[in-house]
Amino acid sequence: MKPALDHEIARLTRALRWHRAVYGSGWGVVGALAGILIMAGIARLTPLWHQAELRLAGVWAVGGGLFLGSLLGYAWPAPLSRRLRMFDRRLHLADRLTTAWELSQGRINAPAALTRLQQEETLTAVRAIDPRPAFPLRPPRAAGILALVLLLGLIPALFLANPQESVLARREAQQQATEAAIAQLETAQEALADSSTLSAAEREVALKALEEALATLRDRHSTSEEQRTALSEAERQLAALRSPEAAAQVQRLAEAAPLSSAEIVQPLTTALQQGDPEAAAEYLRSLIDPTYQQSLTAEEMLALADAFTQIADTLQSTDPALAEQFQDIAQELYSGDIASASEAVQRAADTLSATAQADAPNQTLEQAQASLQQAQESLGDAQRPTTAQASAENAATQPGAAAGPGKPKTGADPGAGDEPGGIAVGGHHEDVGSSNPYGAEEAPRLSGQGGDITLPRQETFGPPQTTLGTPGDTRVPYEDVYTTYVEAARADLARSAYPPALRAYVREYFNGLEP
């Protein structure tokens, strides 16, 4: 064909490509909206995506569908013969372009003069045609209607409350708690590996216990209950490694901390009350260390003698041997001999250091136990529903949940506290915990024989008398101080390795008081 006719065919082809690009963009948007609607429906049946994520994905999907549909429409291959037939049909060219092409390809035998005249007449007809009415730049009406219908269906699917959101939130909280627990246990594992206070056998058992717990936490298929069970088992194994005798001696010294107003006794009292006999020993050594150029006066020796006498008196019933040592030290201090007094203070420091050294493995293991307990609490908090959800669930599942202040509790009421002396908050009692908090040796005693105790009851006649409290000068609503107290309690639980039952009591107590 003539170059001029080829140029006109290229002009018509560009108009066709842009028409197809707009046409494809419309259907691309429809496909994107349909995909997001399907995902939103699935998300309401299965906890897979948050609504915010779906809304953001919808924006990207519409943009991507628009771009991809336009690209495919613009670049979709079409043979030249098909394009020419389309141009003839839509532009009403009466097969001029198709005939010109077939003549140039030799598919129709005709004289050269006739062929030249046909192509010139075709070129004249094509030049006079504006292709824009035949190939408009607008999406198809069917795609627009379908996109509007899909959009109307997406609005409630993406903006109405999804019941799976709470499941997703708990799952993500559980994942974060698991990652935090893994980090805590890895830190505890490094501390145990570097510790010099444990024997090789104790270190091996402790590290194996933590490694087994870590393996369960790292297993993506493990449930929250399995993870807490693994942490409880690791905590039990660490508890079995602790020396109860050394811990008991530290506790006895803490209880025997002397009460004295003498300034020289105060650091000793503070160190013993904090359960740090090594700090107490270092303080006593500093009193007789020549490098500090300090000497004990008669009044200071008398105050120390009184303090050691108090310690000996308190320890007499629990540790007579240790009480005798402190009593001998006090007698030498009472003698007034500086040399003997210094030796006595040194012996007292050595005794306290020996106690601290014996309890050092316990302190190392206690820190690891505290990490395990914190990990358990984090996993438990991640599974606990919010206050509003818990209230709704309690109202729906507990028959006595709607009882008012004047309604008496019955045996069916959770948390009624039917057992004497037991603590029951929300159905929780003293046996709840990550492991047996009292040890296997105390179990027979706790569950052993017992008898009924009958308390005398005073018979009264007439209506019960109710006494109102007398308001004081200061009244502070407990809501104003609740946060302060609960944060203090959590901080104390994080610092120390309390028995699991006690930790459960504290958590349930403050959960019950939450405003």
What's the pLDDT score for residue 61? Answer: 94
Give the 3-state secondary structure of 154-200.
Answer: HHHHHHCCCCHHHHHHHHHHHHHHHHHHHHHHHHHHHHHHHCCCCCH
What tokens appear for 57 in the block?
A: 């994905």
Count other Cβ atoms within 10 Å, centred on residue 442: 12
Q: Which ranges in 219-257 belong to alpha helices (H)?
A: 224-241, 244-255
Contact 150, 30 (CB under 8 A): yes
508 vs 500: CA distance, rounded Å:
12
Query: In terms of C-beta density within 10 A (0-12 exposed, 13-18 middle, 19 or more buried), how is residue 450 classed?
Result: exposed
Contact 299, 264 (CB under 8 A): no
**Residues 6+ positions from 399 with CB-CB distance below 8 Å:** 412, 413
What tokens appear for 122 in the block?
A: 């075709």
pTM of this prediction? 0.53
What's the pLDDT score for residue 498? Answer: 60
388 vs 386: CA distance, rounded Å:
6
Helix (H, G, I), strand (E, B) or coil at 23: helix
Query: Length of the chain, please?
Result: 515
| Domain ranges, ordered by start, for the chain | 3-159, 167-243, 245-381
Contact 189, 207 (CB under 8 A): yes
Q: What is the DSSP letter of 265?
A: T
Give pLDDT tens digits along the chain (515 positions).
678 888 999 999 999 999 999 999 999 999 999 999 999 999 989 888 888 999 999 999 999 999 999 999 999 878 898 999 999 999 999 889 999 888 888 888 888 888 889 888 998 999 999 999 999 999 999 999 999 999 999 999 889 888 888 888 888 888 888 898 899 899 998 988 888 888 899 889 999 999 999 999 999 888 888 988 999 999 899 988 888 888 888 888 888 888 888 888 898 899 988 888 899 889 888 887 765 445 667 888 888 889 889 988 988 888 888 888 888 888 888 887 777 777 888 888 888 888 888 888 888 888 888 888 888 888 887 776 654 454 444 444 444 443 444 344 444 343 434 433 333 333 333 343 444 444 444 444 344 444 444 444 444 444 444 444 444 444 567 676 777 777 777 666 655 656 555 666 777 787 777 77
Phi, psi of 445 (to 5 degrees): -70, -40
What tokens appear for 360 in the block?
A: 């050092």
Q: Which ranges in 224-337 belong to alpha helices (H)?
A: 224-241, 244-255, 266-273, 277-288, 298-315, 320-335
What's the pLDDT score for residue 475? Answer: 56
Contact 335, 342 (CB under 8 A): no
What's the pLDDT score for residue 478? Answer: 65
What's the pLDDT score for residue 19? Answer: 93
What's the pLDDT score for residue 3? Answer: 86
360 vs 282: CA distance, rounded Å:
16
Instruction: Enumerate the β-bridge partners of residue 425.
Output: 428
What's the pLDDT score for residue 461? Answer: 42
What's the pLDDT score for residue 56? Answer: 93
First-to-last C-alpha distance (Å) of the chain:
88
344 vs 264: CA distance, rounded Å:
16
Contact 349, 281 (CB under 8 A): yes
What tokens appear for 75 in the block?
A: 């670049």
What's the pLDDT score for residue 496? Answer: 60
What's the pLDDT score for residue 68? Answer: 95
What tokens appear for 444 in the block?
A: 């027979």
What's the pLDDT score for residue 5? Answer: 87
Closest listed residue to residue 193, CA positions, set 368, 356, 360, 363: 368
